[in-house]
């Protein structure tokens, strides 16, 4: 894909994007296929990107982070997704935890946790979804009962990215059942310090296998009141306030994956010959590639636009949903078309397009399904 978007990026944005592209190509991509096959946690790869500041991108420099802008962050996430979709998801969830602590934490909490998150000493996880609360985010049932200077957590969390590797989990729990959505709080749980954080299982997934997803049981898990993040009763509101950024970041994940699939398809079409010439000379293949390139470029440009709105503090729920909806739907189609161009070889695990098709599918589900995005957009139209 041509790099025309650089004309609309600042010097710092280009530098961070290129740095992410380099480490993704040199460190993350070479082991992606093997990690997909074995579902291995990318420990050494995470340390390599942590050393370059990519695990603390949204954490202020005074706490050991990179202090990057949200646009810079999304550009980096796209590059990591082009190397390994699951790796990009993993570090996105981790960085989101750092951002939440940086925004909502008091000084003591920031000093205790942010440098460890930025260095990769602690991996972050968000414990939001539950067996009965997926798209219906307000239906969560996990309870946090106040006992003196502690909360006692009980409940189940489902589909928790990084949950089995977490050194810091942000748990959304009910602290006042009578208050509804206004009766929830975010609590910081350290699985090593707070007994009762139990990994029930690590899921076997269709794709993104190096991004582990776990079921977590909270069984009489005692957490100090000092580990509450933000005000009591403000948990749900604080989580909802970060949804737009999360959706734009997933647009970056989807776009990066689609770009990798496009690049693979172009490379294959130039090498594969049929009827005495490379198949890229066949009009049908060439037109498919042209459509794919146009879709990837449009998704990238709109993702950057939505990221700039988030960065500016503009209310942009509609634009964030548009970015995620378009990018994820586009990416599934582009990955499928890339596999088709490969023919029978595309169906083999020896070629990366097979993995891209599996990896990209969940971008239409997590951080809000495509139907949820359409609902948000439609409501914004009045």
Indicate which residues carry an active-site annotation: 367
What are the Cα distances from residue 146, in Å, to 152, 175, 220, 227, 345? 6, 8, 12, 13, 58
CA 225/CA 364 separation, integer angstroms: 37
Which residue, among 359, 253, 337, 343, has the nearest Cα to 32 in the 3D structure? 359
Are the C-beta atoms of 237 and 188 separated by less than 8 Å?
no
Long-range contacts of 117-121 (CB under 8 A, 24+ apart): 117/55, 117/56, 117/59, 117/168, 118/50, 118/53, 118/55, 118/56, 118/59, 118/63, 118/64, 118/65, 118/66, 119/50, 119/55, 119/56, 119/64, 120/46, 120/47, 120/50, 120/55, 121/167
Residue 132 bridge partners (DSSP): none
CA 289/CA 272 separation, integer angstroms: 14
Contacts of 145 (CB under 8 A, 6+ apart): 151, 152, 154
Which residue, among 236, 229, 226, 248, has the nearest Cα to 314 in the 3D structure? 248
Measured in whole angstroms, the distance separating CA 283 from the mean position of its chain's CA atoms is 37
> Would the CA dihedral through 207, 208, 210, 212 be positive or negative?
negative
Which residue, among 281, 266, 172, has the nearest Cα to 216 in the 3D structure? 172
């Amino acid at each position: 894909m041509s790099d025309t978007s650089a004309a609309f990026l600042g010097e710092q944005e280009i530098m961070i994007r290129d740095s992410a592209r380099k480490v993704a190509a040199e460190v993350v991509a070479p082991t992606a296929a093997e990690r997909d096959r074995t579902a291995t946690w990318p420990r050494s790869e995470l340390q390599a990107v942590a050393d370059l500041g990519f695990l603390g991108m949204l954490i202020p420099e005074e706490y050991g982070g990179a202090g990057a802008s949200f646009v810079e962050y999304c550009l980096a996430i796209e590059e990591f997704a082009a190397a390994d979709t699951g790796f990009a998801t993993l570090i996105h969830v981790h960085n989101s935890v750092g951002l939440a602590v940086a925004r909502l934490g008091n000084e003591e909490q920031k000093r205790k946790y942010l440098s460890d998150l930025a260095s990769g000493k602690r991996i972050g996880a968000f414990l939001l979804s539950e067996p009965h609360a997926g798209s219906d985010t307000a239906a969560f049932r996990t309870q946090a009962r106040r006992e003196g200077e502690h909360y006692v957590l009980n409940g189940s969390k489902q589909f928790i990215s990084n949950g089995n590797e977490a050194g810091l989990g942000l748990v959304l729990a009910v602290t006042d059942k009578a208050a509804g959505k206004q009766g929830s709080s975010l609590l910081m749980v350290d699985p090593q310090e707070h007994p009762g954080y139990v990994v029930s299982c690590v899921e076997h997934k269709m794709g993104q296998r190096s991004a582990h997803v776990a079921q977590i049981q909270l069984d009489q898990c005692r957490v100090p009141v000092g580990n509450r993040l933000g005000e009591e009763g403000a948990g749900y509101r604080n989580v909802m306030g970060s949804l737009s950024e999360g959706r734009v970041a997933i647009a970056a994940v989807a776009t990066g994956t689609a770009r990798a699939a496009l690049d693979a398809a172009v490379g294959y079409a130039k090498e594969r010959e049929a009827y005495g010439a490379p198949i890229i000379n066949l009009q049908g293949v060439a037109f498919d590639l042209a459509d794919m390139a146009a879709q990837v470029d449009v998704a990238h440009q709109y993702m950057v636009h939505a990221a700039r709105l988030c960065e500016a503090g503009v209310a942009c729920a509609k634009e964030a949903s548009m970015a995620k909806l378009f990018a994820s739907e586009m990416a599934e189609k582009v990955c499928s078309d890339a596999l088709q161009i490969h023919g029978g070889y595309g169906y083999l695990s020896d070629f990366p397009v097979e993995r891209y098709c599996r990896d990209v599918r969940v971008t239409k589900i997590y951080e809000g399904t495509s139907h949820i995005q359409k609902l948000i957009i439609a409501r914004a139209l009045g």
